[in-house]
Amino acid sequence: MTSVKVNDGGRQVLPFYILCDESGSMQGAKLDAVNQGLPKIHQAVASSPIVNDKVRVGVISFSDTAEELVPLTMLSDLTQMPGLVSKGGTSYTAAFTVAKSAIDRDIANLKSSGLQVLRPVIFFISDGEPTSPDWPTAHAALTGTSNPYAPHILSFGITGAVGQVILDVATDIKRLGKKFAWLADDGTDPGTVVMEIINQLIATIVASGSNQNPVLIPPKPPDGVIDLDEV
Amino acid sequence: MVTDVESSKGDYVLPLVLVVDPTTQVSERVQCLGDVLARLSQEMSSKGVIAEPIIKVIVANSTPHTAAPYLLKPEVVFESETKSDGFYLGRVLSGLVDDVTQEVSRQKMNGKVVLKPQLAVIAASDSGDSWESPLTEVFAAASQYRFGTLHFYYAESVQSQFVNRLGGCLPREQYVLGVFDSEEQDSVPSKPVTSPDISTQTAVAMIPRWPSLELKPRRRLREYESRTSELLLVVTDMILAPLRLIESSVSSVMEALDESVPVAAPDDPPITKPTSPEPMALSANGNPIIGEASSINKSPWWNSRWWNVGKDEVCREVEVDVGTAADLAIIGLTTRGQSHRYGDLPNQDSFAILHDDLVPGFLFVAVSDGVSNARFSGYASRKLVRCVVRALHRRVLERTQDSDTPPSGDELREIGSAAFWEASNALLSWNNFEVLAPPEEPDEIDPAEFSATLTVAIIPVGSSTDGNRRALVGFVGDSPCYILNDETWQLVTPATKSGETLNNATAALPFIGEESGDATWLDVPIAAGSTFFLMTDGFGTSLASGRSSVGVFLGAEWSRPRTVVDFLRTAEFDRAGEDDDRTVVAVWTPPFMSPPSIEESAPSLAESV
């Protein structure tokens, strides 16, 4: 039997990553909606001093490759949200690989500044089938038990995405007893759905960061989507 | 089905309850427990052990198997074909006092003397439901059948938060913590186990430590009781040793983490005292910045629109009391937290300090932290601290008027408990002119809307021969008591929770119901020259037992009495994310530390420009 040192202090921060598809198929209304939505997230968080101090937000875009568009940051430190530009295919492998190295680096940085880091949350947004067949391996490296910093993934499929794949990307959040995986209904306007999703991301980030100690408060289902975990 | 307790053996029975988290893979192996215990029983009788352990195993699913009897050889029901739906500790605990009470009466009818029941929990994850108040009940219920010690064994993957919250519920002496994980392998004297299908025979053979325990022959009960925990350790080790072996050979239980558990604790910053004081950076509002500045303090308060007066008639931005009581120097201070500044809400913390010539021998202090979700916690905290110090004062006065001997520790505890009840009851009636009083009538309000913690101290005034003294500290909830000695912080009350996320999960007043509830009381030595603190977690969490940079900063600043202005300035330190109300009562005892000499605090000529 071992007695342990009880860690009874330290401020807590909750990192959020937006992992967004910018493949060719996103071009048009969908990507326009993302590009209008990202500044709203920035505005909502940076203008609430309480939330701003407790959450960190990063944006990673992916197509054939993945890129850290906004490295994880306190949003008040960011002057302007960059935009996404459509190009190429849909490599989930690149997305998950870049997310993993970003998380590893970011958690180490946050820890070294004396913070307790809560399990990161990824909002995954895609409208296409993965073009890289080996993505489950990269997904497992990110979310499997071998990764001590395995994030929760909440996943949103827009018109063109495959339900089963979107469901597989999402992780099971035991505390909440479900996966959060949603697919846009056929026939709803893709731009409107994306705006809805972004509004839910904002609500989630703000609610989660408003607690005395931050904690993931899950999003409500956006209008015009199917809950894949209940199908 | 197995046989019941053999009643012929001992006069004493020791009820043990083992709660197994179904998300541990150990639960699937618990079946071997029955055989292990049967072995144990044989061993015990051959060694002349007088107490019969009777054990009940509960697999804490959402529908826990609570109907299981207490048996020497427990019947373990674990439906492995049913998918486990999570770990629900609260549900198990809430029925436990009733459950053990029944068993105790049954044993008594059989002529047994029943020892204090013991609880062991094996967890690999945080509980899916709220367990704090049921746990407190199990250990603090007024019923005489409350449990003795909690043996809490958790997987390495269960990180600090669950354990912290547990520590916040019980006094230190009431729990034993143990981690099971693969690194424990070395301590188990055995050859490596490759198959999870370890047999009972092997498991029993591998049990360490048992032969080294000297169990006394039949003696008086009192003498035996002192060994109860030792016996339990053996029993749980008996249970755990084989389980650990099994555990270490199956895959890890990492996936049980959830995001309310920090995945990464900060690397402990090295604690070094600065050799020469550096001027600290100040925020736009004049606060010394520790680490990263908060968003609110990046703009002057009159420009940001983030710093607002309250929706109520007061916001209680800063309240300070200062003065001496005979040889003691005291400052009490409360300041409104940033989340309340931003949210147009008043400060929900309060403190009170009382000393007068009628009761010259004691100083009474109290702090209270209003639970943020409770609508009238600001009213509650203020009323609690005032009522409790007055009640303590009055009751000690009544006691000392009649007698020349000072009240004993036990008498003071009794007085303290009565004062807690008095303050708790006083919450439930008010007039409309009281500060922050609810606009509704008392019977229209749920008492939970008043939730607030309360920590009090009764401190002897006037030096003893050596200048040392002993204070009595009582608390409900997580507002900590610290001693600061030579810039080193010592946490007196149990480790505070840091990951509070559930409503009303902190123990709080008012006491509800006729019989439940008492404060936890601690006897706290205060060495001459050290400083005694009561505080709310607005400071307590930041201090982190003094290991944090805030702890180092305040430890240096508060080791000696300070001017009011200096004290307020240091208490208003700024650090991003520290947005709770902050309250502290500092009691400096003589001899006071002198301020640093000029040579120490001024930069040397060579360094200055």
B68: domain CATH number is: 3.40.50
Q: Is residue B464 part of a domain?
A: yes
Asked if B375 and B514 sit in the same domain, the reply is yes
For residue A49, give the nearest of B260, B295, B549 by CB distance.
B295
- Asked if the C-beta of A77 comes within 8 angstroms of chain B's C-beta atoms, the answer is no
CA dist., res. B439 & res. B379, Å (int)? 11
CB within 8 Å: B578 and A11: yes
Residues B360 and B409 in one domain: yes
Q: Residue B547: list chain A partners with CB under 8 A.
A: 9
Cα atoms in the 13 Å half-sphere on the side-chain side of B449: 15
Same domain, B368 and B443: yes
With bands split at pLDDT 50, 70 and 90, how would you rate the model's confidence at B144?
Answer: low
Candidate from B184, B258, B501 with C-beta closest to A174: B258
Per CB-CB distance under 8 Å, the chain B contacts of A143 are none
Minimum mean pLDDT among A142-156, B150-164, B232-246: which range?
B232-246
Contact B547 A54 (CB under 8 A): no
Same domain, B396 and B311: yes
CA distance B364 to B580: 25
Residue B103 lies in a domain: yes
Query: Does the residue B3 lie in any domain?
Result: no
Q: Is residue B249 part of a domain?
A: yes
Residue B263 belongs to a domain: no
A9, A52, A121 member nearest B542 (Cβ): A9
DSSP β-ladder status, B12-20 and A172-173: unpaired
The minimum CA-CA distance between B397 and chain A, rounded to whole Å, is: 38
Range of the domain at B225: 12-255
Express each pLDDT in B454-465 by its tens digit.
Answer: 999 999 998 677
Look at residue B116 and tell me whether its pLDDT is greater than 50. yes
What does the pLDDT look like over B595-606, one tens digit per residue?
Answer: 655 444 433 333
- The reply to whether B211 falls in a domain is yes
Q: Which residue of B has its CA nearest to A13?
A: B577
Among residues B255, B283, B309, which one ends one of the domains?
B255
Q: Are residues B357 and B417 both part of a single domain?
A: yes
Inter-chain residue contact A118 with B178, CB threshold 8 Å = no
Q: For residue B421, give the amino acid letter.
A: W
Question: Are A114 and B542 inside 8 Å of each other by CB?
Answer: no
Residues B226 and B303 in one domain: no
B128/A152 touch (CB, cutoff 8 Å), yes or no:
no
Among the ranges given (A97-101, A108-112, B478-482, B525-529), the one the predictor scored with the smallest mean pLDDT: A108-112
Give residue B158's pLDDT band: very low, low, confident or very high (50, 70, 90): low
Contact state of A149 with B579 under an 8 Å Cβ cutoff:
no
- The complex scores an ipTM of 0.75
What one-character-per-residue DSSP string does B500-534 give?
Answer: --STT-S--BSP-SSS----EEEEEEE-TT-EEEE
Distance of CA B499 to CAs A31, B255, B257, B451, Å? 38, 19, 14, 18
Per-residue pLDDT of A157-172, as tens digits, reads 998 889 999 999 999 9
Interface touch A215/B262, C-beta < 8 Å: no
Question: How many angstroms away from the CA of B118 is the closest CA of chain A?
Answer: 17
Check CB contact under 8 Å for B544 and A8.
yes
Average pLDDT over residues A53-61: 95
pLDDT digits (tens, 9 = 90+) for B276-286: 445 678 999 99
Contact A117 B263 (CB under 8 A): yes
Residues 6+ apart with CB under 8 A from A58: A15, A16, A17, A18, A68, A70, A71, A72, A73, A102, A106
**A9 to B294: CB separation less than 8 angstroms, yes or no:** no
Q: Quick one: B240 and B303 in the same domain?
A: no
B495 to chain A: which residues are within 8 Å by CB? Answer: 6, 8
Smallest CA–CA distance from B130 into chain A, residue: A175
Which residue among B86, B257, B295 places its CB closest to the CB of A52?
Answer: B295
B62 chain-A contacts, CB cut-off 8 A: none
The model carries a pTM of 0.63
B254, A145: Cβ pair inside 8 Å? yes
Answer yes or no: is B286 within a domain.
no
Interface check for A101 against chain B (CB to CB < 8 A): the answer is no
Assigned domain for B570 exists: yes
Residues B301, B251 share a domain:
no
The pLDDT tens digits for B343-362 are 899 999 999 999 999 999 99
Do B343 and B478 share a structural domain?
yes
* CATH code of the domain covering residue B312: 3.60.40.10
pLDDT of A148 > 50? The answer is yes
Q: How many domains does chain B have?
A: 2
One-character DSSP codes across B119-162:
EEEEESS--SS--HHHHHHHHH-SSTT----EEEEEETTS-HHH
Q: In terms of domains, do B237 and B304 share one?
A: no
| Whether residues B525 and B385 fall in one domain | yes
Which domains occur in chain A, in start order?
A: 11-230 (3.40.50.410)
Q: Does A113 touch chain B (CB under 8 A)?
A: yes
Instruction: Give yes or no: residues B242 and B317 share one domain.
Output: no
Q: In a 10 Å sphere around its CB, with 0-12 CB exposed, 13-18 middle and 19+ buried, how is residue B607 labelled?
A: exposed
> How far apart (Å, rounded) are the C-alpha atoms in residues B172 and B545?
15
